Amino acid sequence: MLTQLTHDIATVSRRRWLAATAGLVLGLAAFSNAKAQETIKVGVLHSLSGTMAISETTLKDTVLFLIDEQNKKGGVLGKKLEAVVVDPASNWPLFAEKARELITKDKVSVVFGCWTSVSRKSVLPVFKELNSILFYPVQYEGEESERNVFYTGAAPNQQAIPAVDYLMKDEKVKRWVLAGTDYVYPRTTNKILEAYLKSKGVKQEDIMINYTPFGHSDWQTIVADIKKFGSAGKKTAVVSTINGDANVPFYKELGNQGIKATDIPVVAFSVGEEELAGIDTKPLLGHLAAWNYFQSIKDPANEKFIKAWQAYTKNPKRVTNDPMEAHVIGFEMWVKAVEKVKSTDPDKVIDALPGIEAKNLTGGTSKMLPNHHITKPVFIGEIKANGQFDVVWKTPGLVAGDAWSKELEGSKDLIGDWVGKKCGNYNTKTNKCGGQGS
Amino acid sequence: MSANFLDRLRAVLLAILLTTAFAVPALAGPFEDAVAKFANDDFSDTDEAIGAVAASGNPLAFPIISALQEGRLSADPETKKVFVTGADGKIIDAATGAAVDKLPDNAAAVRLNNRLRRAVEAAVGSLTLLSPDPAKRIAAAQSVFKSHEESALPVIDGALAKETNKAVKAAFAEARAAILLYKPDATEVEKLEAVAIVKAKGDQEAMALLTGLSNDVPPNVARAAASAIASIQSNLATWSMVQNAWYGLSLGSVLLLAAIGLAITFGVMGVINMAHGEMVMLGAYTTFVVQEVIRTSYPGLFDYSLLIAVPLAFLVAGAVGVLIERGIIRFLYGRPLETLLATWGLSLVLQQAVRTMFGPTNREVGNPSWMSGAFELGQITITYNRLWILCFTLAVFVILLAMLRYTALGLEMRAVTQNRRMAASMGIATSRVDALTFGLGSGIAGIAGVALSQIDNVSPNLGQSYIIDSFMVVVFGGVGNLWGTLVGAFTLGIANKFLEPVAGAVLGKIAILVLIILFIQKRPRGLFALKGRAVEA
């Protein structure tokens, strides 16, 4: 009764509040429209409040930083870039509203934004309908290739699969715990991983899958279960797709129950330098993370970037992370594409982007592929006592991102090809566009 | 001529001197060669170096390996020299033991990965089996038990014969049994004895050891091992019930801690306070600020940081509570919907204020040493932080109960909440009591924040994750009754933890919610309903 009441009132108040903010933003947008005519507008669609603010605020700062740097170099096509920042407040439907506002009201040429897959799914129809461009910087579950979206984060074959390979070969892991937060990214990734492990001869009884709600904070039972699962005489590892805030109590519980990386290593796909900044990392020594970038990687481009970033944020301890690098690459690719076609017209830029190359921060050159994913190196890092990662393994070269997983029945015949086939889900068996993913 | 001869002699001598000086490293023994491999920054070279150094018998072996384990071993990649920085800050050359003034500029700590860390642990184990400290000998025996390296057997046998300490002796016997189980040429009798010893150990490690046994052992041994596994399993199943109960108590204590302040503001005063979670958050941020000040100015006091934070968090959250009551809530008494909306808005304001001040990312709140780690009780692991939080929660509960019962303020609070007009007629300044009661509830929420900062994220969203649970506990336990809150919190905690292994965390939570809704249908006033005329008012 009370819960119902609370809920009703919460919805009402949220709506009212939304209306107010929307009004405010509209007013501001109108003002800025009148002020500056000769700029190219870049939309920034990252949550600055709510649950995801913890991760997305940094990305907003990153785009502002990149725009600032580009303007110092004289902008693009002789015009200055101008950022339009909106706050979708970790509210998925609001992402779609804000995206529409950016494209129709502010007339932005490109949008950098979104973190969770559900927010990306929420804005997809808007970008398709209004034909604009979205750069999505976060590692995700794949099974998607859209004409209007460019995926600069890792697909599962650029993060999850290499990490599992490393554990299998180097750590001789025979038993697997797949632990994740209960939403689309962990569920799809775990489905892919389960299929992959089984194809490598791992038996059903050696795989334990566990899901927890967002923001789960009491990990005692699950950590005890992992400990029990790991005492079957076979080397065990945890593959964690636990996302967001829940990681801190999870790692604290691991440390407190004395699970060391030498006994049961945990490899995480959503824990980076930012997330570790909130934890005492000494008990976590040796646990792993798989990313396409680490702050600790020694490369002149990376060192230069870190220095400039820390100077820009006026914080000498400010860390960098993988999704930030994805924005760096995506931003450079967009600038190059715009300069190539000498226009910000979405259709021209979308056609120009595949094939564009941009230096990444780890010494390689990433390339935009016809399926709108990019090539990236994969690194496995171990957590060090200072909250940074020590790279213990990396792929020999760059890995091309697969939009459709080769491990899943429903998607293994599909490819995304926006250059030759003009299709995001082309079925190579039936030679038809419009095959369905799982 | 003589001068010429002398010159030549000097040159020859110099040449000899130089060659010997440069030849020394090349002619060095296997120990020095092994040590130099640490400088290659290659994991397989480091692995070889660990094995060679540990087996060398050189007195420097232990300092080198333990320095490696603690990240105090550094190497200069150019000169291939390796240095040990002692725990006391003194630096020695690892190959010779000679003292060095300072590390070269480009010396970097020798890197390890998990495989090497295991090798280092095993090496430390075999090197400390004869340590004079019994605790170290036990730890060494345990790491030998885990690695069951055959090479450690002679040392274990020797150590076992000399050992007088009973606990250490048992640990040695277990380590020896583990080695024998995995030794291909051990006799069947030896192996059967080993199975019995490992079975008596009876924990998860023992089970891991037995299940990992390969199939080519004699059939008798395999049978004994299988029955040992079965008996350990049934033993562990009983313990896992105890463990669930403990986890339930611990979750219950967290729920109680979060809800106890709300039991005052919502339960006793009837204010639907949606900003309650933000009071908890303020308490957690107070802890963070206290720790920051201590870290920068008085590092020695770190272990007392929580003790200092508790009264401060109470004051900060309490003061904010009084402000809220005076500024907003007192105009809204008797209008629950407006109160709900106003406090909900307030909670957003507070969250955003904290986000602006401290940033959106998590803040690190450290665990003092007495709250880190765990101890074993039978076959379950009890973590210190959970144990302390349970004690702390009960202490807060008792103090609050005593305050309401035995102090003048407590009496006034009860009087005002039971019958406001009569209390006013008796000369109680009701508005002052309202402010203080709300402040008390908020202050206790602040104290909860200090404890919760030890197990959860300190982020602006901290409060949100507790507000629903807190309301659930208070409504379930019975509005207006502290004992109801206590029983409600522990019931929900234990029920949750017994459901979780069966249904999973997500379904478990849903099941609890459904059960509470059904329960409230049956008993709308919760477990311990207040009786009498006061309720109707």
Alpha carbon distance B414, B421 (integer Å) = 13
Same domain, A240 and A330: no
Same domain, A346 and A308: yes
Question: Does residue A96 belong to any structural domain of this protein?
Answer: yes
| Structural contact between residues B333 and B326, judged by C-beta atoms closer than 8 angstroms | no
Buried b / exposed e along B498-534 (16+ C-beta atoms within 10 A):
bbbbeebbbebbebbeeebeeebeeeebbbbeeeeee
Question: Across-strand partners of B108?
Answer: B75
Tell me the residue ranges of DSSP E strands in A217-341: 236-241, 266-268, 288-291
Same domain, A145 and A47: yes
Closest by Cα among B348, B317, B347, B342 to B328? B342
Same domain, A58 and A101: yes
- Tell me how far apart the terminal alpha carbons of chain B are, to the nearest angstrom: 126
Residue in A closest to B43 by C-alpha:
A392
Same domain, A281 and A307: no
Task: Return the number of other C-beta atoms located less than 10 Å from residue A198's C-beta.
Answer: 14
Residues of B numbered 292-331 whose beta carbons fall under 8 angstroms of chain A's beta carbons: which are they? Answer: none
| Structural contact between residues B229 and B211, judged by C-beta atoms closer than 8 angstroms | yes
Tell me the residue ranges of DSSP E strands in A185-280: 207-212, 236-241, 266-268
Q: Sort A293 into a burial class: Cβ within 10 Å, 0-12 / 13-18 / 19+.
A: buried
Closest by Cα among B384, B364, B366 to B375? B384
Tracing tokens 């300072």 back to the chain, one arrives at B102
Phi (first) and psi of residue A420, to 5 degrees: -85, -50
Question: Does residue A410 belong to any structural domain of this protein?
Answer: no
- Does the CB of A235 have a partner CB in chain B at under 8 Å? no
Domain boundary among A362, A377, A392: A377
Question: Does residue A389 belong to any structural domain of this protein?
Answer: no
| Structural contact between residues A135 and A327, judged by C-beta atoms closer than 8 angstroms | yes
pLDDT of A195 higher than 90: yes
Question: Across-strand partners of B100?
Answer: B91
Q: What share of chain A is helix, strand, coil (3-state, %, to 5)?
A: 40, 20, 40
The pTM is what? Answer: 0.79
Alpha carbon distance A372, A135 (integer Å) = 10
When divided into structural domains, chain A yields a total of: 2
pLDDT at B11: 56
Residue in B closest to A318 by C-alpha:
B361
Domain boundary among A246, A266, A291: A291
Alpha carbon distance B313, B374 (integer Å) = 27
Closest by Cα among B145, B128, B111 to B54? B128
Tell me whether residues A278 and B247 touch, CB distance under 8 A.
Answer: no
B497 contacts on A by Cβ (under 8 Å) = 220-221
- Does the CB of B40 have a partner CB in chain A at under 8 Å? no
Same domain, A194 and A207: yes
Same domain, A98 and A133: yes
Residue in B closest to A385 by C-alpha:
B71
A2 contacts on B by Cβ (under 8 Å) = 471, 475
Residues of B numbered 222-261 whose beta carbons fall under 8 angstroms of chain A's beta carbons: which are they? Answer: 236, 240, 243-244, 247, 250-251, 254
Within chain B, what is the greatest distance between any pair of CA atoms? 128
Question: Does residue A234 belong to any structural domain of this protein?
Answer: yes
Tell me whether residues B208 and A215 touch, CB distance under 8 A.
Answer: no
Give the domain B239-536 fold: ABC transporter involved in vitamin B12 uptake, BtuC (1.10.3470)
Give all strands of the β-sheet with A175-181 in edge-to-edge order. Answer: A207-212, A175-181, A236-241, A266-268, A288-291, A379-383, A389-394
Question: Does residue A320 belong to any structural domain of this protein?
Answer: yes
pLDDT at A40: 94
Query: Cβ neighbours of residue B451 under 8 Å, at least 6 residues apart?
Result: B254, B257, B389, B392, B393
| Structural contact between residues B413 and B441, judged by C-beta atoms closer than 8 angstroms | no
Q: What share of chain B is helix, strand, coil (3-state, %, to 5)?
A: 75, 5, 20
**Which among A13, A249, A382 has the least Cβ separation from residue B114?**
A382
For residue A199, name the pLDDT band (cuts at 50, 70, 90): very high
Type of residue numbered B143: S
Query: Cβ neighbours of residue B311 under 8 Å, at least 6 residues apart?
Result: none
Same domain, A245 and A364: no
Same domain, A284 and A170: yes
Question: Does residue A414 belong to any structural domain of this protein?
Answer: no
**CATH number of the domain within which A334 lies:** 3.40.50.2300
All structural domains of chain B with their residue ranges: 2-115, 128-217, 239-536
Tell me whether residues A51 and B373 touch, CB distance under 8 A.
Answer: no
| Structural contact between residues B221 and B230, judged by C-beta atoms closer than 8 angstroms | no
Type of residue numbered B14: L
Within chain A, what is the greatest distance between any pair of CA atoms? 70
Domain boundary among A266, A291, A316: A291
Closest by Cα among A51, A398, A403 to A216? A51
Per-residue model confidence as pLDDT tens digits over A369-408: 999 999 999 999 999 888 899 999 999 889 999 999 988 8
Question: H-type helices in A37-183, by residue range?
Answer: 53-72, 92-100, 117-130, 160-170
Same domain, A175 and A64: no
Q: Which three-class secondary structure state does DSSP give residue B112?
A: coil
Residue in A closest to B502 by C-alpha:
A221
Phi (first) and psi of residue B181, to 5 degrees: -60, -35
For residue A284 the two structure tokens come to: 């976590």
Residues of A numbered 284-313 whose beta carbons fall under 8 angstroms of chain B's beta carbons: which are they? Answer: 286, 288
User: Residue A63: which domain range?
Assistant: 40-154+298-377
For residue B475 the two structure tokens come to: 């409504």
Question: Across-strand partners of B336?
Answer: none
Question: Does residue A280 belong to any structural domain of this protein?
Answer: yes
Alpha carbon distance A138, A119 (integer Å) = 12
Same domain, A164 and A287: yes
Q: What does the pLDDT profile of chain B (537 residues) look like in tens digits? A: 455 555 655 655 555 544 444 444 444 577 888 888 888 878 888 888 888 888 777 888 888 888 888 888 888 888 888 888 887 888 888 888 888 888 888 888 888 888 888 888 888 877 788 778 888 888 888 888 887 878 778 888 888 888 888 888 888 888 888 888 888 888 888 888 888 888 888 888 888 888 877 777 788 888 888 888 899 888 888 888 898 999 999 999 999 998 999 988 887 788 889 999 999 999 999 999 999 999 899 888 888 999 999 999 999 999 999 999 999 998 988 888 899 999 999 999 999 899 889 887 778 888 888 888 888 887 788 889 899 999 999 999 999 999 989 999 999 988 887 888 888 999 999 889 999 999 999 999 999 999 999 888 888 888 888 898 899 999 898 877 889 999 999 999 999 999 988 888 888 888 999 999 999 898 888 888 766 555 544
Tell me the residue ranges of DSSP E strands in B312-428: 374-377, 380-383
Same domain, A275 and A186: yes
